[in-house]
Amino acid sequence: MKKTKVLNSELSAVIASMGHTDTIAIGDAGLPIPDSSKRIDLAVKRNLPPFLDVLETVLCELEVEEVTIASEMIEDNPGLFKKINELFSSIKINLVTHSEFKEMTKNCKAVVRTGECMPYANIILHSGVAFSCEE
C-alpha cells in the first residue's frame, strides 16, 4: 500500500506526471469539467470530501509555483479567500473572473471534483519544480 498522502491512484498518477507550468484544478461539486481535461471525481456526498482537505493533501505532493482563483471568491467566500492567502503567502495568486477560470480549466491536465458546496471553492495549481540547479 502506498504510504504517501495521496492514495487515489488517478490523482497520484496525474501529480506524478506533471511538469513545470502544467496545471491541475481542484473544484467544488458544481464546477463544470471540460471534456478536454481528465475528470477525477472524488465527490461522495455534499461536502465530502471538503475542498480544503483535498487541496492540503495535494500540496503535500505537488510543488506549486503559483495559483489561480476566481476574483468573486473575495466577496462571496471571504473565509476561503483568507485561507488561500495563508496557504500561498509566498507565491503569486492570480485573480481572474469565474468565467475566465472555467475557460482555463480546458488546459488543465486534470480537474478534481470534491464534494464542496460553498461558492467559488475552486483553484488552479501551476506546477513548479522541486529541484535546484545549484550544486
Binding-site members for substrate are 28, 98, 120-122
Question: Residue 126 catalytic?
Answer: no
Average pLDDT over residues 61-87: 98
d(CA 131, CA 46): 38
pLDDT attached to residue 13: 97
Q: Which of 9, 13, 20, 75 is catalytic?
A: 20
Q: Above pLDDT 70, what percent of the chain?
A: 97
Question: Rounded distance, CA 56 to CA 97, Å?
Answer: 24
pTM: 0.95
Compute the average pLDDT of residues 75-86: 98
The annotation places the binding site at: 28, 98, 120-122
* pLDDT at residue 132, as a whole number: 64
On the question of pLDDT at 127 being above 60, the answer is yes
Set out the domains of the chain in order of their start, with CATH numbers: 22-127 (3.40.1650.10)
Whose CA is closest to 31, among 126, 98, 130, 107? 98
- Would the pLDDT of 27 be above 70? yes
Nearest partner of 70 among 51, 53, 47, 90, judged by Cα: 51
